[in-house]
Structure 1
Amino acid sequence: MKTGILGGTFNPIHLAHLRIAEEVREACALDRVLFIPAATPPHKPLEGEVAFDHRLAMVRAAIADNPAFAASDVENRRSGKSFSVDTLEILHREYPGDEFFFIMGMDSFVEIASWYEYPRLFGLCHIVVTARPGSRGGSPGELLPVAVADEFCYDGASRRLLHHSGFSVIFLEETFLDISSTRIRQLVAAGRSVRYLIPAAVEDYLHHHALYWGHARS
């Protein structure tokens, strides 16, 4: 099975998350996409003091009408920081027959050298890098950290960076939707509408549980 992985705090999940997942699913012919909320994000603190269970419930509400989407609580079933390499190793044990496609934005990829044990990522999965149209500058190889550049070669036919493990880095242009979870939290805190920014089921959930009220920090 070809499985996409989309991680994040999902605080809250919004329509841009869903659109990116759908575009990668189609472009890479994925059988499913797993949405994995971070339990303890390693790179930045979690804003809004929203518990993992709430964020997972909002993800499940958002994807309920798409049979190709699923949610996983894998990062809440272990202690410590939610490092991606650890999550991928667990997923390999849980789904030993799956081929994984790890989805990230270009902004994250250019900073991947700051990730915990990042060289191991390239041997665990394909990495799908999404960017807004026309935003990628330079050759694909120039985007790699210098420390791992010699582990790759560029395949012009597929427009992929091929890793010696057999996995690859795939670059895709996305339909850019300028939506952020930070802005949604600010709007909710200010009592303003978030309609058409998040799925209706997520909007119902956060209002029912009074999430983000009074948390307008960026």
Structure 2
Amino acid sequence: MKTGIIGGTFNPIHLGHLAIAREMQQRFALDRVLFIPAAIPPHKKVAGLPPFAQRLAMVECAIAGTDGFEACDIEGHRQGKSYSRDTLQQLHALYPEDSFYFLIGMDSLHSLHTWYHFEDIFPLCNLVVARRPGVAKPASTDALPVAIRGQFCYDSVLKTFCHTSGSHLYFLTESFINISSTQIRHNLADNRPVEEALPQAVYEYIKTHHLYASGKG
């Protein structure tokens, strides 16, 4: 089975997340895409972060009825910070026959060397990097971050990067849906409209539970 992985705080999940998930699903003919909320994000401040259970519930609202999309609570059952290396190792133990495609952003690619045991990530999955429209697709290892480029070679036939472990690094052009979770939170706090950025079920969940100061006052 081919399994896509999209992780994040999902604070909150929005239409941009769903759009890039659909693109990855179609590009790689994925059997399923797992949306994995981080319980304790290692790279982001957690002040004011809604509880894991509420962020998971918003993910479930967002993807309800979408074929091949699944919410995964694996990081909610671990103690300590939610490291991607640990999650990938757990998924391999649970689904040893699966091939994994792990979506990250371009900014994450360039900071990957700062991640917890980042060198263990490459053998565990294929990396899929979302890039903005207009950003040139790298066509040589010289375009990769210095910390990782020595572990990859460029296959000019497949037009992709191959890791020494046999995994691949792909670049996926992201649909330009200019949505930011941070801006959504600010808009909610200021009672400005956000409906066009959120799945309707997520918007209703936020209002019902008064998240991000929405519906107060």
The one-character-per-residue Cα deviations of 1:10-65 (angstroms, maximum 9, x if unpaired) are 00000000000000110111111000000000011125331000000000000002
How many angstroms apart in 2 are the aligned matches of 1:69 and 1:174? 18
How many angstroms apart in 1 are the aligned matches of 2:190 and 2:146? 45
How many angstroms apart in 1 are the aligned matches of 2:179 and 2:69? 20
CA contact (8 A) 1:102 1:125 kept: yes
1:197 aligns with 2:197: yes
Structure 1 pair 168–76 and aligned structure 2 pair: CA distance change class (3 A): same
SS state at 2:7 partner: strand
Q: CA deviation at 1:145?
A: 3.7
Structure 1 pair 140–130 and aligned structure 2 pair: CA distance change class (3 A): farther
The one-character-per-residue Cα deviations of 1:120-170 (angstroms, maximum 9, x if unpaired) are 111100000010122137544124343432322111122111012111000
SS state at 1:49 partner: coil
How many angstroms apart in 2 are the aligned matches of 1:108 and 1:143? 15
Q: How many residues align?
A: 214
Letter in 2 for 1:125: C
SS state at 1:89 partner: helix
Pairwise mapping of residues 24-103 of structure 1 onto structure 2 (< 5 A)?
A: 24-103=24-103
Pairwise mapping of residues 171-210 of structure 1 onto structure 2 (< 5 A)?
A: 171-210=171-210
Letter in 2 for 1:97: E
How many angstroms apart in 2 are the aligned matches of 1:77 and 1:131? 31
SS state at 2:67 partner: coil
CA contact (8 A) 1:20 1:175 kept: yes
- How many percent of aligned residue pairs carry the same amino acid? 50
Displacement over 2 Å in runs of 4+: 46-49, 136-140, 142-151
How many angstroms apart in 1 are the aligned matches of 2:181 and 2:53? 17
CA contact (8 A) 2:125 2:167 kept: yes
Gaps of 5+ in 1: none
Q: CA deviation at 1:114?
A: 1.2
SS state at 1:201 partner: helix
The one-character-per-residue Cα deviations of 1:177-204 (angstroms, maximum 9, x if unpaired) are 1101110111111112111100000000
Gaps of 5+ in 2: none
CA contact (8 A) 1:110 1:143 kept: no
SS state at 2:162 partner: strand
TM-score by length of structure 1 reads: 0.94
How many angstroms apart in 2 are the aligned matches of 1:106 and 1:87? 20
CA contact (8 A) 2:11 2:49 kept: no
Letter in 2 for 1:150: G
CA contact (8 A) 2:139 2:159 kept: no
How many angstroms apart in 1 are the aligned matches of 2:12 and 2:3? 23
CA contact (8 A) 1:16 1:179 kept: yes
Letter in 2 for 1:151: Q
CA contact (8 A) 2:39 2:52 kept: yes
SS state at 2:183 partner: helix
How many angstroms apart in 2 are the aligned matches of 1:143 and 1:87? 28
1:109 aligns with 2:109: yes
Q: CA RMSD in A?
A: 1.4
How many angstroms apart in 2 are the aligned matches of 1:99 and 1:32? 11
